Amino acid sequence: MRIFDPHIHMTSRTTDDYERMAAAGVRALVEPAFWLGQPRTSAASFVDYFDSLVGWEPFRAAQFGIRHHATIALNPKEANDPRCREVLDLLPRYLDKDGVVAVGEVGYDSMTPEEDEVFAAQLALAVEHELPAMVHTPHRDKARGTERSLAVIAESGLEPGRVVIDHLNEVTVPLVRDTGCWLGFSIYPETKMSPPRMVELLRKYGTERMLVNSAADWGRSDPLLTRATGEAMLAAGFGDDDVDQVLWRNPVEFYGQSGRLDLGADEASGETGPGTFEGNSILRGGS
Amino acid sequence: MEPEPELERLRAALLAVPDGRLPDRDWLTEALARVGSEPAALGRLFAAAGRRCGREPLPDLPDWTADDAARVLLLAALPPTELPGQAETCYRHGDAAEKRAVLRALPLLPAVGDAGVPLLHDAIRTNDTRLVSAALGPYADRLDQAAWRQAVLKCVFTGIPLSAVSGLDRRADAELTTMLAGFADERRAAGRDMPADATALLDRLSVLHRSGTPARSGAEEA
Ligand SMILES: [Zn+2]
């Protein structure tokens, strides 16, 4: 089972997790820029975070043969802090990077006027940089937040096929299914979505434009739930090809629209990417 | 390695990649002309060089990848007075591949002067083996001896082949010998192997220093 996790916050995971993910079949992932648990107090703090998403994390992932890509944005939570607003001015330089395959996570947290403004400004950046967008839907007042997000997207001029609406559930899927946007699902041990519930949604809505991720962030989460979902699909009677579509071909197709996805010449062999040495610092325990 | 012929070799090897594969020659030609007349355009072109020119090793110069070569040529196309500042900006604003390309460019661009030394220190502070090894080319002659020794030890510790270190035997001194011997003791005590190239270096240095060659340690201390 080859797995592309389209939304996972590796910054909050240990190197052991990379090893376990590789063993479970994860060969590629996208790490969206979001928060760090502790709110940041300046744009400079984001610079180091974004640098890590295009520097250290891809290096760490490559030790285990995992291709790491990122999405870059000012997230809706911190969009509300005026001290972080300058981050918007930094974004263009990161949106030019090879490893950046979308603008994200954008969207709503508390649906404030500040969030409106930052969301719209970043969708305009996606249009300008010819990148897809990843839209986070809020955990509170989710259904209305999703509808409002769809309205902002429609107004942005960004093609729906270049947008994924993420963290969907049974209530919000019907709002998105016919818009042409991609549908993202974060499989969590307890809250957002579980593997059995995900299988039910795939039965009901089919496997097209469906993206399954583990999110694996600062909450109670598990980076192997993509694999668990694939196994639940098989147990429920889906075929290997369905699993491959959901866990590999769909994310490749969605992020491939950036023109920047780099899965290596031989993506089937799972060998370590170029530019790394055997027995490098991480495998040896670092310094 | 003379800078000018080396740049010419890079250009020739990059353009010799068989037709139908990257690099995008039109893009490259235009980009090189543009940074000469409009240095501020470099940032975006530098970032795009990987997807425009490819990332594979060059068939005629396998030590170089297409993206590294393209980025070095972009820097070399700048007006010389712009070079120190632009090289630093490309490094500071770069992703890991851009940083690596700047490090590899330093020994080929005399107009940079000493402006690249802080970049070497930054690269050596990382644990990214691609950056540490790229920092230890000929330009590392400008590193002070203490920093250089630490960098060599870091290579041994992180498994970077010592072939990455330019002028290794010329510069290795009694102090480095002592540090390597200490590291070998720790590894032995832990029941772990030293990398073979580090053991070979230690053997060479031990013979040299046991035979009464005056230790050069201190002579080059900053
Ligand atoms: Zn997220």
Q: Do B127 and A281 touch (CB under 8 A)?
A: yes
B162 and B109 housed in the same domain: no
Chain B residues within 8 A of A91 when measuring between CB atoms = none
Q: Which residues of chain B have pLDDT under 70?
A: 1, 210-222
Distance separating alpha carbons of residues A53 and A93, to the nearest angstrom: 13
B72 and B33 housed in the same domain: yes
Rounded to an integer, the average pLDDT of A144-157 is 97
Rounded distance from Cα A215 to ligand 1 centre (Å): 5
Q: Which ipTM value was assigned to this complex?
A: 0.89
Dump pLDDT digits (tens) for A119-146.
Answer: 999 999 999 999 999 999 999 999 999 9
Residue B59 main-chain phi, psi, to 5 deg: -55, -40
Rounded to an integer, the average pLDDT of A195-222 is 94
Say yes or no to pLDDT of A82 above 60.
yes
Adjacent-strand bridge partners of A70: A31, A100
B3/A contact by beta carbon, under 8 A: no
Question: Among residues B100, B123, B143, which one ends one of the domains?
Answer: B143
Q: What's this model's pTM, rounded to 2 decimal places?
A: 0.91
Provide CB contacts within 8 A for B142, sequence distance 6+.
B114, B116, B117, B120
Distance separating alpha carbons of residues A82 and A212, to the nearest angstrom: 33
Contacts across the A-B interface (CB distance below 8 Å): 70
B10 and B115 housed in the same domain: yes
Q: Which of A34-38, A73-77, A192-196, B26-30 has the lowest mean pLDDT?
A: A192-196
Say yes or no to pLDDT of A73 above 60.
yes
Provide CB contacts within 8 A for B36, sequence distance 6+.
B77, B78, B79
Q: What is the pLDDT of residue B215?
A: 46
Domains in chain A, CATH or no CATH each:
3-260 (3.20.20.140)
Residue with tokens 């993202």: A184
Chain A residues within 8 A of B157 when measuring between CB atoms = 281, 284, 287
Question: Among residues B127, B143, B159, which one ends one of the domains?
Answer: B143
Count: domains in chain B: 2
Domain residues for B113?
1-143
Adjacent-strand bridge partners of B74: none
Rounded to an integer, the average pLDDT of A203-218 is 95
Question: Among residues B128, B143, B158, which one ends one of the domains?
Answer: B143
Buried b / exposed e along A239-264 (16+ C-beta atoms within 10 A): eeebbbbbbbebbbbbbebbebbbbb
